[in-house]
A and B are shown apart, each in its own frame.
Chain A
Amino acid sequence: EVQLVESGGGLVQPGGSLRLSCVASGFTFSAYSMNWVRQAPGKGLEWVSYISSSSSTIYYADSVKGRFTISRDYAQNSLYLQMNSLRAEDTAVYYCARDRSRSYPDYWGQGTLVTVSS
């Protein structure tokens, strides 16, 4: 069974940093690209970042470019999102999602809430 479990969310002040983690199980992690997608409270879904299976290709949404960094650890079957210079508008539930050939994310984690507030 495919499982994705996010962690690392919490309350952080504007300008602060946070690192999200997503542990994958039930599939060959190294064979799949991965995504981060977020959802602000009461709002729709917003794609944040993509990393290819080999980590050779990385994309970011313009809204986070230069502030967020996606990475993965194959030994730990883990996906990460380092978030710096956080703003109030980054407040959201962050989901990690497995990718299928840049066609569709199929499996999603349960999400982790990030709140940016003073």
Chain B
Amino acid sequence: QSVLTQPPSASGTPGQRVTISCSGSSSNIGSSTVNWYQQLPGTAPKLLIYSNNQWPSGVPDRFSGSKSGTSASLAISGLQSEDEANYYCAAWDGSLNGYVFGTGTEVTVL
């Protein structure tokens, strides 16, 4: 079951900026770093942002992350057609002793 809450969908036209929110609690986002994953249809999740706002090698800086208190957000600037995917936030939950994932947000490029 998902413990982190995300909007089910987001959309924008090419070149626009899209923001996805992720809401948690003190036992997860409030006390751990937040990570974001991109999942293209039929493929495994790919790490997009780690430790709130860090990019793994090869991820364009059009993607950016931030965290404040028990919430976090992912921003996609200069939206491109290849950004159409599902996006998940995740964090370690110290009460559950495991990772919790967001409900997922499907991004559509209009």
Interface residue ranges, A against B (CB under 8 Å): 35, 37, 44-47, 49-50, 59-63, 95, 100, 102-111
Are B101 and A46 within 8 A (Cβ)? yes
Interface check B110, CB cutoff 8 A: no
**A110–B43 CA distance with the chains assembled, in angstroms:** 7
| B55 CB to nearest chain A CB (Å) | 12
Pick the contact of A108 from B35, B45, B96, B103 — CB < 8 Å? Answer: B45
Are A111 and B98 within 8 A (Cβ)? no
- Residue interface mask B74-110, A partner, CB < 8 A = 1: 0000000000000010101000111111111000000
Pick the contact of A59 from B2, B35, B47, B98 — CB < 8 Å? Answer: B98
Are A100 and B45 within 8 A (Cβ)? no
| A113 CB to nearest chain B CB (Å) | 12
Are A103 and B51 within 8 A (Cβ)? yes
Closest A residue to B90 by CB, please name it.
A104
Given A37-B45, A46-B1, A46-B2, 20 extra CB contacts under 8 A: A35-B99, A37-B101, A44-B2, A44-B88, A45-B90, A46-B101, A47-B101, A49-B98, A59-B98, A61-B96, A61-B98, A100-B50, A103-B50, A104-B90, A106-B47, A106-B50, A108-B44, A109-B44, A110-B44, A111-B44
Are A44 and B104 within 8 A (Cβ)? yes
Q: Which residues of B contact A62 (CB under 8 A)?
A: 96
9 residue pairs, one from A and one from B, having the closest CB atoms: A47-B99, A104-B35, A45-B101, A108-B44, A44-B104, A59-B97, A104-B50, A47-B98, A106-B47
Closest B residue to A102 by CB, please name it.
B92
Q: Which residues of A contact B101 (CB under 8 A)?
A: 37, 44-47
Which B residues from 26 to 78 make CB contacts under 8 A with A? 32-33, 35, 37, 43-47, 50-51, 56
Known: A104-B51, A110-B44. A47 touches B56 (CB 8 A): no
Q: Which residues of A contact B33 (CB under 8 A)?
A: 103-104
A-B contact pairs, 16 of them (CB 8 A): A35-B99, A37-B99, A44-B2, A44-B103, A45-B90, A47-B98, A49-B98, A61-B98, A102-B92, A104-B33, A104-B50, A104-B90, A105-B47, A105-B99, A110-B43, A110-B44
